[in-house]
Structure 1
Amino acid sequence: MAVTAAGISRWSSLGILILLALTLGSVVSPVHAADDGFTRFLAAVWPEAQQAGVSRATFDSVTAGLEPDYKLPDLILPGRPATGAPSQAEFVQVPADYLKESSIAGLAAEGRRLMRKNESTLDAIEKRFGVPATIILAIWGRETDYGRYTLPYDAMRVLATQAYVGRRKDQYRNEFIEGLLLLQRGAVSRKNFRASWGGATGLTQFLPSELAKHGVDFDGDGRIDIWSSVPDALASAAQQLVNKGWQPGLRWAYEVRAPENADCTEGVPEVRKPIDKWLREGFLPVRGQKLTAVEREQSASLLQPEGSHGPSFLTTANYFVIKEYNFSDLYVLFVGHLADRMTSPLPFATPWSASTQLRSRDVEAMQRHLTRLGLYKDKIDGKAGMLTRAALGAYQKSAGLKVDCWPSDGVLRAMNAAR
């Protein structure tokens, strides 16, 4: 086939264009394109990191090739709908599902095995901090299935992303810097620095700043290692509880049977009474449990996770200390009950009801309505916590509805009709 000069010229030009496109494509593809905003963000963080003690070498090593992960939840991305936090089981499951008996029983059995295996370490931790071995084992079991759960994310990428486009940028900016300091000290390798989507890391799930405050080198090797040292991880969990107010010798809660005339709107932390007063009002410890005079003098709040349905509890100050680990009533119930099950085979005395959980957006709608009425003054988060349940009970009283302090379809319909 004859090839003219013009044809050669055209093919040469086309070849150059193809080669140029391939070359540019290998350098700047849409997937790996440089994020100028993120680059500027990192540059702005450097002076703060330097002031905190991060070296330039550490900063450059960690941030080289670092990219934001826009698939993480709880982000605010320009031009896109805001992503909410993932559907955490503590807030979207009904108690019967979250506190599944088979899960509790299995974790309790493994907890007993680990209690025997780590007896001397646990005894030493309990002696030093005053936190029962069962409580810290239960936290370990709930957080990472005793270390059998592999955390899915690169911690520094999570912390940087949340600091750049997360809902709590200032908090995570500090966490990112604390993460840099952890790496600089050699507390953990970058490969092993894995985290949840929220940046919590290690066997007992600490944010870097919490580890800086509460971390303990309990095995005496000269470094705080909550990723592979069980003594360090459990002692650090105990130290965190102590630093947040743990009281030695105080139970976390007592399961009770509520009287028929119990007012579920009293189920808020602010309503505290001596346990003896609760007992005189008709709240009876389950299974005929006898409380000592010292226990009866303790102050407690009423907790009814399903409103007037299901079990009731009198919660002590230590209940709210555990809640600092994860701000969820179901989380604390899981940890406390799991701890109890390591020494007793008995499940909850009162079964959970067959209640259903409304969608978060429906609970948010309820919270907005309750806020307009002046009955609710907390954040709109779609979570039916203590304050939301109490506010619902107050609304039910004012609207002449059955008072059970539970967000049901019937209450939602009544609110919609009122509007």
Structure 2
Amino acid sequence: MRCFRRPFAAGFLLALALSGAPSPAEAADAGFERFVASVWPEASAAGVSRATFERETRGLEPDYGLPDLALPGRPETGAPAQPEFVRPPADYIKEASIARLAGEGRRLLGMHRAALDKIEARFGVPGNVVLAIWGRETDYGRSPERYDTLRVVATQAYVGRRKDQYRTEFVLALKILDQGVVARKDFRASWAGATGLTQFLPSEYFKHGVDLDGSGRVDIWHSVPDALASAAKQLADKGWQPGLRWAYEVRAPAQADCTAGVPEVRRPIGAWIDAGFVPVRGRSVSAAERAEPASLLQPEGIYGPSFLTTKNYFVIKEYNFSDLYVLFVGHLSDRILSPETFATPWSASSQLKTKSVEAMQRHLTRLGFYRDKVDGKAGMLTRAALGAYQKAAGLKVDCWPSEAVLQSLGAAR
């Protein structure tokens, strides 16, 4: 049958072209052109010149291959599964990667000491922390981004699932180009539009960008001092507390309740220690540190390492809403200064797929244990809800999503 379909299709398209009727692709592109034109008043109000607008949008085409789009007549692609949520901790926080990045981080710590000292004095964020963010985001600038930033944010504004947000990003991306800070060929981004050495959306660039090197412009694509200072300012703007650790690794007592591992359960570090959560390697904790509030984090439930997470942990989490991301950045920042690995090894060898975690969240919602969004991400709230179900069902309480517990949930009434 294929040998008949191809000529028919070709003949149909030829007839369509001769008739003057636009093809679906042409109609879509015409719609995109109208969309781009509609943005001009907002771009003009933001200070973008007409010459820049015309130059940068001439020939601009949507990229329908991007994730997280809502295309008419096509199932929503959704955001790609982030490795932070689908890989077990040991696979995400690989010792080989940490060791390599830490070694490079120590070299960069010396190379950029003057700028990093200035950053810490101004924003209160230590140099090893912003270096760890740079290392995780772009491998210290070695990981080139695949996409043209302007095309990404224009496409997401046109057919993405967050059109309003990306319409603003589109306007601000044009403003960046209008200011001549970066050439279009160097204006590369992730599929979501994050750009530069430390991965900022255009809106974050204007909110948190810092000209630390005194060049007269904020250049997060080529200037390491500007990129690191901008990352530090973003953390400071989100509430970074100078002099406070991001987390303390602890050994949990045998009777520890893993369902307490949620941000809402905050106690002074001293109270956790008095309850049997002992800092590893005999680490001493000052009186001031004991008074700081912290939450319990057990990324693998009762298995693997346990942490007491401070306010600064959650500040880093605003950079990327993943516990494993924060653990990677936090641990890397520590390793830049010290060779000590996690005291307790990771133990999980597999992680449930996103669809299985979504099913688990739906079951937990149905049974009244979970009240957050169904997103397929087994974060703190999902693990705690799972532990609460295990308690109620008389199962072993380990707060770790597994196929066995998923089957139990599916059968529960």
**What is the TM-score with the length of structure 1 in the denominator?**
0.92
Query: Which residue pairs with 1:293 in the alignment?
Result: 287
Query: Which residue pairs with 1:390 in the alignment?
Result: 384
In the TM superposition, 1:252-271 aligns within 5 A as: 252-271=246-265
Query: Which residue pairs with 1:219 in the alignment?
Result: 213
Query: Which residue pairs with 1:100 in the alignment?
Result: 94
Deviates more, 1:191-200 or 1:348-357: 348-357
Query: Which residue pairs with 1:381 in the alignment?
Result: 375
Deviation per CA, 1:308-363, whole angstroms, max 9, x where unpaired? 11000000000000011100000000000000001111100000013421110110
Amino acid at match of 2:49: S
Which residue of 44, 49, 58 corresponds with 1:55? Answer: 49
Query: Which residue pairs with 2:339 in the alignment?
Result: 345
Deviation per CA, 1:59-111, whole angstroms, max 9, x where unpaired? 22121111110111111111112112112111111000000100000000000
C-alpha distance in 1, partners of 2:405/2:28? 50
Amino acid at match of 1:76: A
> How far 1:29 moved relative to its partner?
9.0
Give the secondary-structure state (helix, strand or coil) at the position aligned to 2:184.
Answer: coil
Amino acid at match of 1:59: F
Using the aligned pairs only, state the percent identity: 73
C-alpha distance in 1, partners of 2:46/2:210? 21
Query: Which residue pairs with 1:364 in the alignment?
Result: 358
C-alpha distance in 1, partners of 2:34/2:375? 32
Q: 1:90 to 1:378 in 2, by over 3 A?
A: same
C-alpha distance in 2, partners of 1:32/1:113? 52
Query: Which residue pairs with 1:12 in the alignment?
Result: none
C-alpha distance in 2, partners of 1:365/1:109? 41
Query: Which residue pairs with 1:174 in the alignment?
Result: 168
**Which aligned runs of 4 or more in structure 1 are off by greater than 4 angstroms?**
28-34
Give the secondary-structure state (helix, strand or coil) at the position aligned to 2:337.
Answer: coil
C-alpha distance in 2, partners of 1:211/1:189? 16
Q: Does 1:135 align with 2:129?
A: yes
C-alpha distance in 1, partners of 2:70/2:23? 24
Query: Which residue pairs with 1:7 in the alignment?
Result: none
Amino acid at match of 1:264: C
Query: Which residue pairs with 1:415 in the alignment?
Result: 409
Deviation per CA, 1:360-414, whole angstroms, max 9, x where unpaired? 0110011111112222121111000111111111111111111111110111000
Amino acid at match of 2:149: A
> How far 1:49 moved relative to its partner?
2.0
Amino acid at match of 1:204: T
Q: 1:44 to 1:265 in 2, by over 3 A?
A: same
Amino acid at match of 1:275: I
Give the secondary-structure state (helix, strand or coil) at the position aligned to 1:301.
Answer: strand
Q: Does 1:210 align with 2:204?
A: yes
Q: Does 1:145 align with 2:139?
A: yes
Amino acid at match of 2:88: V
> How far 1:40 moved relative to its partner?
2.2
Query: Which residue pairs with 1:72 in the alignment?
Result: 66
Gaps of 5+ in 1: 1-19
RMSD: 1.9
C-alpha distance in 2, partners of 1:68/1:87? 22
Query: Which residue pairs with 2:11 in the alignment?
Result: none
Deviation per CA, 1:245-269, whole angstroms, max 9, x where unpaired? 0010000000000011111111111
> How far 1:48 moved relative to its partner?
2.2
Q: 1:36 to 1:315 in 2, by over 3 A?
A: same
C-alpha distance in 2, partners of 1:391/1:203? 37
Amino acid at match of 1:315: T
Which residue of 250, 273, 284 corresponds with 1:279? Answer: 273
Aligned residues: 398
C-alpha distance in 2, partners of 1:400/1:34? 56
Rg (Cα) greater in structure = 1
Amino acid at match of 2:311: A
Query: Which residue pairs with 2:396 in the alignment?
Result: 402
Gaps of 5+ in 2: 1-13
Query: Which residue pairs with 2:8 in the alignment?
Result: none
Q: 1:75 to 1:34 in 2, by over 3 A?
A: closer
Amino acid at match of 1:55: S
Q: Does 1:332 align with 2:326?
A: yes
Aligned residues of 2:258 and 2:301 also touching (Cα < 8 A): yes
C-alpha distance in 2, partners of 1:54/1:268? 45
Give the secondary-structure state (helix, strand or coil) at the position aligned to 2:56.
Answer: helix
Give the secondary-structure state (helix, strand or coil) at the position aligned to 1:305.
Answer: coil
> How far 1:53 moved relative to its partner?
2.3
Aligned residues of 2:156 and 2:163 also touching (Cα < 8 A): yes
Query: Which residue pairs with 1:15 in the alignment?
Result: none
